[in-house]
Amino acid sequence: MAEKTERNELRRYFRARRRSLSADVHFNNSLDVTRHLLNSGHLLRGKRIGGYWASDGEVDLELLLTELGYRHRRLALPVVSDRGHMNFFSYQPGARLIANRYNIPEP
């Protein structure tokens, strides 16, 4: 039980840190991650790539996903079922997304 409590405390800590970032810092972090992942070449070798739609101050991958879509990569985003199971479904940049019960857009 202590491990679960510690994990929840870490989540709260990092969530608070993310929320404290300015919009400019958040945007620049997202750009840095996008540049790094594209320049590394790892994602460009893959044909199917799973991502996520940022929420609660997470690094925004929308620019990365858009660029990968232009480069003809098959993209997928997670969808959380009512039972809490996560599956990945096809996503194309610009496609209509629907907010789930956590208000996170899903394909």
> What string of pLDDT tens digits covers the 107 residues of the chain?
678 889 899 989 999 999 999 999 999 999 999 999 999 988 888 889 999 999 888 999 999 999 999 999 999 999 998 888 999 999 999 999 999 988 989 99
pLDDT reported for residue 1: 63
- Please compute Rg for the chain using Cα positions: 15
pLDDT for res 105:
92
Q: Looking at residue 57, what is its pLDDT? A: 87
Quick one: which H or E segment has residue 37?
A: helix 23-40
Query: Is residue 60 within 8 Å of residue 54, measured between CB atoms?
Result: yes
Per-residue model confidence (pLDDT) at position 74: 95
Question: What is residue 83's predicted lDDT score, i.e. its pLDDT?
Answer: 87
pLDDT for the residue numbered 79: 95
